[in-house]
Structure formats: C-alpha cells, structure tokens
Amino acid sequence: MQTYTQCRLRRGRTEQIAWIPSEFAKKNQFLRIKSEDGWRVIGVGATMPESCVIGHERDYRAAFPSIDLRA
C-alpha cells in the first residue's frame, strides 16, 4: 500500500506544504518536483494511505477563492 507524508518543503525563500510519497519524506533530503530541482524537506508530519490523501485533496480549496478548482 502506497502512503503519503505531509512535509514542509523549501526552495530558496519559498516554502510550501505538500503530501509526498513516504519514501521521499526524509528531513534534509533534496527533491525534484515536476521540473523544479532544489526542494529540501525541512519538516515531516503525518502519514496517510494514498486513498485518504487523494480522497481529501480538495477539502480546503473552497476556503481559498484564488485557487482554480477546475484543475
């Protein structure tokens, strides 16, 4: 079963929170996300099964009207 871990990532002065596959969720590991190299895992949080993460990925999007929900 694939699991995902919620991580805080940093690239330069930019930080973001993302669910990433658990095998990559190691503090201080550098990642390539899509075509962007240089994302460093600076914090590791909760781990959940893939089905739960995907099933709830849009739960909070309505709270942020600037996010395009069509994607």
CA distances from 20 to 1, 36, 66 (A): 14, 15, 23
DSSP for 17-31, please give it: EEEEEGGG--TT-EE
pLDDT, the chain, mean: 86
Once rounded to an integer, what is the mean pLDDT over residues 6-21? 94
pTM, to two decimals: 0.77
Query: Could you read off the pLDDT of 21-39 as tens digits, one per residue?
Result: 999 999 999 999 888 899 9
Q: How far is CA 2 from CA 14, 18, 24, 36, 62, in A?
A: 28, 16, 12, 23, 27
pLDDT above 90 (res 42): yes
Reported as a pLDDT band with limits 50, 70 and 90, residue 40 is: very high
pLDDT at 70: 56
